[in-house]
């Protein structure tokens, strides 16, 4: 009889605890946090969401990463099939990351202060020389976390252009002037805390590149004559 009472009491206590956890779990869905999401190309995004939503997103990361690797492998196979043994230029995708920063404050002033603090960490700029697959040079002010993404974008354009060029020039013994060249993003001045300042430096750099291009063009004309 005593054993039965103990078991009944234990069951009731367990049910009570389960209800408390359920209630707490329900309450947690209303607790929102600031998160920093880093995409596979390094691009960072500050966002806010419930912890339950963040947990769902974290669970989806592995499956989405497998899909990204699958897509990258297919691109690499298409490259080797079209181009041959030339090294595939696109790096393997990185896994997406979600970082919990802080619980969102209850006061508007607290939210503004914290949001400004995290946003300020993202507002770092690099002045870069960008070379595309056509060999054209340009200057650009790029947010620091997006420099790698720009490089990936250029490499994908280069891959498509190279596959097309090889397909149209199967009998070519040498690469002509129209052949794609490997692109790059070169940081000339980094870690600037102002986008306006970065734009000014980029404008000056663009003028410098333009003058150098004009000088080279003049030298070519002189040699031709």
* pLDDT tens track for 15-45: 333 333 344 444 444 588 999 999 999 999 9
Percentage of the residues of the chain whose pLDDT score is greater than 90: 72
What is the reported pLDDT for 175? Answer: 85
Nearest CA-CA partner of 129 in 179, 188, 213: 188
Domain boundary among the residues 78, 107, 122 is at: 122
Q: Which residue has the higher pLDDT, 4 or 155?
A: 155
- Cβ contact 127:198 at 8 Å: yes
pLDDT tens per residue across span 46-67: 999 999 999 999 999 989 999 9
pLDDT at 166 over 50: yes
The set of residues, in sequence order, having a beta carbon less than 8 Å from that of 221 and lying 6+ positions away, is none
pLDDT at 99 over 90: yes
1 falls within a domain: no
C-alpha 120/C-alpha 85 separation (Å) is: 45
Residues 198 and 144 in one domain: yes
Residues 129 and 220 in one domain: yes
Residue-range definition of the domain harbouring residue 36: 31-122
225 falls within a domain: yes
- Cβ contact 5:24 at 8 Å: no
The torsion angles phi and psi of 92, rounded to 5 degrees, stand at: -65, 140
Total count of residues recorded for the chain: 225
Domain boundary among the residues 97, 122, 147 is at: 122
Q: How confident is the model at residue 11 (pLDDT cuts 50, 70, 90)?
A: very low
11 falls within a domain: no
Euclidean distance between the first and the last CA atom of the chain, given in angstroms as a whole number = 113
What is the reported pLDDT for 171? Answer: 78
Residues 189 and 205 in one domain: yes
The set of residues, in sequence order, having a beta carbon less than 8 Å from that of 169 and lying 6+ positions away, is 176, 179
**What's the token pair of residue 102?**
């802080």
Q: How confident is the model at residue 179 (pLDDT cuts 50, 70, 90)?
A: very high
Number of folded domains in the chain?
2
* Average pLDDT over the chain, rounded to an integer: 86
Domain boundary among the residues 92, 122, 152 is at: 122
> Can you tell me the mean pLDDT for 129-158?
97
């Amino acid at each position: 009889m005593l054993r039965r009472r103990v078991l009944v009491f234990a069951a009731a206590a367990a049910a009570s605890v389960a209800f408390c956890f359920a209630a707490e779990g329900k309450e947690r869905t209303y607790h929102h946090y600031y998160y920093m999401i880093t995409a596979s190309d390094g691009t960072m995004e500050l966002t806010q969401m419930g912890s339950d939503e963040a947990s769902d997103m974290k669970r989806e990361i592995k499956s989405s990463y497998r899909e990204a690797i699958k897509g990258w492998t297919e691109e690499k196979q298409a490259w080797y099939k079209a181009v041959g043994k030339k090294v595939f230029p696109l790096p393997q995708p990185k896994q997406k990351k979600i970082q919990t920063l802080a619980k969102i404050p209850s006061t508007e002033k607290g939210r503004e202060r914290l949001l400004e603090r995290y946003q300020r960490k993202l507002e770092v700029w690099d002045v870069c020389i960008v070379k595309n697959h056509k060999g054209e040079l340009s200057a650009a002010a790029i947010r620091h976390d997006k420099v790698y993404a720009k490089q990936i974008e250029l490499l994908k354009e280069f891959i498509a252009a190279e596959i097309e060029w090889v397909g149209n020039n199967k009998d070519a013994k040498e690469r002509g002037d129209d052949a794609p060249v490997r692109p790059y993003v070169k940081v000339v001045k980094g870690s600037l805390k102002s986008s306006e300042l970065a734009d000014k430096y980029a404008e000056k750099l663009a003028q410098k590149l333009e003058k150098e291009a004009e000088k080279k063009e003049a030298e070519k004309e002189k040699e031709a004559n």
